[in-house]
Chains A and B, each alone.
Chain A
Amino acid sequence: MSNSMVFRYDVDGDDFTLAGEISSKVKKRLKQLGLPPETIRKVAIAMYEAEINMVIHANGGTITVEVSPETIHIIFADRGPGIPDIDKAMEEGFSTASHEVRELGFGAGMGLPNIKKNSDKMTIDTKVGEGTTIELWMEVC
C-alpha cells in the first residue's frame, strides 16, 4: 500500500507502570492524522486490551500499526505461552489472570471479546509454548 504509514512498538512484559502507554501514543498519532473519533475510539479500546494481555499473559511483545486512508491494520505478536483453547478464551467472563492481577482491576474476562467487538476483522494465530499473534483490521469510518 503506497499511502500507508507503519508504526512499530515494543511492549515490556510485567511492567504495569507502562500499561496503556502504547495505546495512548497511537491514539495521539491517529488524532494528529485527523482520523474520525469513532475509529480512534475503537482502536484505543482494542489496543489497550491487547497491550494489557501482552503484559499480563505473555511477558511483552511487539505491536505494529499500519495506517492507510481506508484501513487500520494492527499486529500484536508475542512469544508467550499461547492460548490452548481459543473458543474458551473468547468467552466473556473466562480469564486465566492471576489473583494479583485481578486485584488491579484486570481479569474480567472481557479482553478478547472487547478486542473482537471493536474490530471489523480479527484473526488469532497461536501455538502453545510458542506464542500468539493477533491481527486486527478496522475500517476507517
Chain B
Amino acid sequence: MKLSEIASALELKPIAGADGMNREVNGCYIGDLMSLAMSNLEEGNLWITIQTNLNVIAVSALKEAGGVILADAMTPDANAAEKADEEEIPVFSSPLSAYQLAKRLAELGL
C-alpha cells in the first residue's frame, strides 16, 4: 500500500522526510524501545512510536522502515526531523493513540 494513501486516509500530519512519501509500505510495527525495534521492525514497515529523538530515525534508516508515525500528537526533535529529511524517512504526527492508529491501518487492509 502506498504511504501517501495511508497518510491521507488517516489524516496524518506530514512533518519530515517528504521525499520518501511515494514509498510502498507492507506492515506495521509498534514500540518504543530501540533494541526491540532494531530486532523486530522489518524493511518497508510503518513504525508507530511515541519516541521523538534522533535514534528513531537512525533505527528506521538502518532497518529501511517505510515511515514513522508519532502517536499521541508527538512531534520529532529538531535534529530528528533534519535527519529524517536527509535519510528520506517520512515522519508523521497523529493525535490518535498507537492502538487507534493500528486499528485504522488494519481497516485499510495493511
Contact = CB atoms under 8 A, between A and B. Distances in A.
Interface residues of B, number: 20
Interface residues of A, number: 22
A20 B32 contact: no
A44 interface: yes
B35 A17 contact: no
A21 to B, nearest CB: 7
A33 interface: no
Contacts, number: 64
Interface SS, B side: helix
Contacts of A110: 33, 35-36, 39
Interface SS, A side: helix
A19 B62 contact: no
Interface of A: 16-17, 19-21, 23-24, 27, 44-45, 48-49, 52, 104-106, 108-111, 114, 117
Interface of B: 32-39, 49, 51, 53-56, 58-59, 61-63, 79
Nearest 8 Cβ contacts at the A-B interface: A20-B58, A110-B35, A108-B33, A108-B35, A105-B34, A105-B51, A44-B62, A104-B53
